[in-house]
Amino acid sequence: MRGRSWDVLRIRPVSPLLIPHVSLADTSIGEYSIPKGARVIINLWSVHHDEKEWDKPEEFNPGRFLDERGQHIHSPSPSYLPFGAGIRVCLGKVLAKMELFLFLAWVLQRFTLECPEDQPLPSLEGKFGVVLQVQKFQVKARLREAWRAAS
């Protein structure tokens, strides 16, 4: 379940751009010079979809975060930054990860999710803005038999 949560945050980050930072000194990243005082915005979408960092980045693959036994959660890339990094990391990181895990577990435990027969699979293209918006789609949620019998 955690691998799914982690890849959801990688492939579709809530915010495609991290909060702006200001360079404290003249510096460089690769071939780019960054002067002191320059506003720097990290394009998280690009970082999380970089083929140099991720194998088949456009594919949803929760297994990329698991060890060979399918158990241990780890990040295969130092560029996994769904909540930012350093002293300005999102204060709600722990709570958000816990909430995402609990919500997904609750839904998937109780329901089978399907695409309606007359509907195409939803597009994975998001609508960019301050936050990444999912395009509208329909889903059929069927209560699992064990939960139907219990209610």
Contact 81, 47 (CB under 8 A): yes
Phi and psi angles of residue 59, each rounded to the nearest 5 degrees, phi first: -95, 140
| Farthest-apart Cα atoms in the chain, separation | 65
DSSP symbols for 24-40? SS-EEETTEEE-TT-EE
- Position 86 scores a pLDDT of 81
User: Which pLDDT value is given to residue 123?
Assistant: 77
Please tell me the distance from the alpha carbon of residue 98 to that of residue 112, in angstroms, as a whole number.
22
Low-confidence stretches of the chain (pLDDT beneath 50): none
Retrieve residue 81's tokens. Answer: 């930054």
pTM: predicted TM-score of the whole model, two decimal places:
0.77
Q: How far apart are CA 139 and CA 113, in angstroms?
A: 7
- Cβ pair 23, 37 in contact under 8 A: yes
Q: State the Cα torsion 139-143-145-150 to the nearest 10°.
A: 170
Long-range pairs, 95-99, Cβ under 8 A, ≥24:
97/5
pLDDT of residue 80: 92
User: How do the domains of the chain map onto residue ranges?
Assistant: 2-110
What is the distance between the alpha carbons of residues 48 and 54, in angstroms, rounded to a whole number? 8
| Phi, psi dihedrals of residue 103, rounded to the nearest 5° | -65, -50
What amino acid is encoded at 42 in this protein?
I
Amino acid (one-letter) located at 14: V
Determine whether the annotation assigns residue 90 to a binding site. Answer: yes
